[in-house]
């Protein structure tokens, strides 16, 4: 049996079919609600159900995923068991002309760090793809499974795409396939996805917090800011395990030449010799806390593993006055979680 779902305060109503999550149902009807992992982990899809019932076992979520109240639910999990009235954190209509399925060709595959590949793909001749700085794409594998990766290039480079791929332990695609890809190899892609993108209607200073290859979407945003000559002050924290994980220092050096006011704070979490690293140490969210007494006037963009994103969210909201609507995040799940 299908049910009607209405977005509170609007006349927007969409149908949900049996077995469909609220998020999927909305998307099927051309509406995008906030999300990232789609696996019940990151909490980005959290919203409120103001009236109606959810199918047993699909409501709620953990405190780690940001669920604190009885009417809060993860819309990537929640399924309607009656008509619903919902209040997502935001929503927008999907631009149907923007999303494309295409076959891209590898033109460069660099080993950027011991466990990171930088993959450059070219779209078919003459094809341009519209996306927003910070969004991601999906690689469609021959067996139909999909892997999500953020695009690291800025939207004006619309004939190709750059991906930063960490080789996950036991990762069939990231560890076994990606390192062997060579120029000319083809990959099926669907692009673009996601609501992690620069809000250009704000003039607030930008605070970026990246963990590992969570640097990729933030690179896209900073390249875009510089290209568009957007004059918002920027601070970038980049947390990695060891100095080798800072795999794009050439990019950061270029930014510092183009935008000398950029504040850059790399952070190492592994215990490494003082001779190997004299900069900031520890967990990246702790270093942000140390540097800022308040971030209430900032827009914060965070990208990385769910545990890091959640730590940044809770500490800055609880201890540094960050309004929830000024926090934007992209959590990526591991390949194992992806196939779960």
- How far apart CA 203 and CA 259 sit, in angstroms, is 17
Residue 132: how many other CB atoms lie within 10 Å: 21
What is the nearest approach in angstroms of ligand FES to the Cβ of residue 65? 5
Of 16, 36, 162, 235, the residue at the interface with ligand FES (CB under 6 A) is: 36
Q: Does 79 bind ligand FES (CB under 6 A)?
A: no
> Which range binds ligand FES by CB under 6 A, 6-14, 33-41, 112-120, 230-238?
33-41
What is the nearest approach in angstroms of ligand FES to the Cβ of residue 21? 9
Nearer Cβ to ligand FES (88/245): 88
Q: Does 121 bind ligand FES (CB under 6 A)?
A: no
Helix (H) or strand (E) holding 267: strand 263-268
The two tokens of residue 222 are 């900073």
* The residue count for the chain: 340
Give 145's contacts (C-beta < 8 A, 6+ positions apart): 339
Q: Does 74 bind ligand FES (CB under 6 A)?
A: yes
CA 182 to chain centre: 27
Q: How many residues bind ligand FES (CB under 6 A)?
A: 14
- How far apart CA 16 and CA 190 sit, in angstroms, is 23
Residue 122 falls in which region: left (phi positive, over 0), alpha (psi -120 to 50) or beta:
beta
Nearer Cβ to ligand FES (45/137): 45
What is the nearest approach in angstroms of ligand FES to the Cβ of residue 340? 13
Q: Indicate the residue whose CB is closest to ligand FES.
A: 76
The two tokens of residue 230 are 């957007």
Of 7, 31, 33, 45, the residue at the interface with ligand FES (CB under 6 A) is: 45
Which residues contribute to the site for ligand FES (CB under 6 A)? Answer: 35-45, 65, 74, 76
């Amino acid at each position: 049996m299908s049910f009607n779902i209405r977005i509170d305060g609007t006349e927007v109503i969409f149908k949900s079919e049996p077995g469909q999550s609220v998020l999927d149902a909305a998307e099927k009807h051309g509406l995008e609600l906030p999300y990232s992992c789609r696996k019940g982990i990151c909490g980005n899809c959290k919203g409120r159900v103001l009236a109606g019932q959810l199918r047993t076992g699909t409501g709620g979520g953990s405190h780690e995923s940001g669920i604190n109240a009885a009417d809060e639910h993860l819309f990537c999990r929640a399924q309607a068991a009656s008509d619903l009235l919902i209040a997502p954190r935001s929503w927008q209509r999907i631009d149907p002309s923007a999303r494309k399925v295409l076959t891209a060709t590898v033109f460069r595959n660099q080993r950027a760090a011991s466990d990171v590949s930088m993959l450059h793909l070219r779209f078919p001749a003459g094809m341009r793809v519209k996306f927003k700085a910070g969004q991601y794409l999906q690689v469609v594998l021959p067996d139909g499974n999909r892997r999500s990766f953020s695009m690291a290039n800025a939207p004006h480079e619309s004939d190709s795409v750059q991906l930063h791929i960490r080789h996950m332990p036991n990762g069939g695609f990231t560890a076994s396939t990606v390192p062997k890809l060579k120029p000319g190899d083809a990959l099926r892609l669907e692009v673009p996805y996601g609501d992690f993108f620069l809000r250009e209607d704000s003039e607030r200073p930008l605070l970026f917090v990246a963990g590992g290859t969570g640097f990729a979407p933030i690179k896209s945003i900073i390249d875009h800011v510089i290209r568009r000559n957007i004059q918002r002050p920027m601070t970038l924290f980049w947390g990695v395990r060891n100095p080798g994980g800072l795999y794009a220092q050439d990019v950061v050096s270029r930014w510092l030449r183009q935008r000398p006011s950029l504040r850059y704070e790399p952070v190492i979490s592994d215990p490494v010799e003082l001779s190997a690293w004299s900069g900031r140490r520890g967990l990246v969210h702790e270093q942000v806390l140390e540097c800022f007494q308040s971030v209430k006037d900032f827009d914060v963009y965070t990208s990385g593993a769910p545990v890091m994103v959640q730590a940044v969210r809770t500490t800055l909201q609880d201890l540094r006055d960050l309004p929830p609507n000024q926090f934007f995040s992209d959590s990526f799940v591991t390949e194992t979680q992806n196939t779960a």
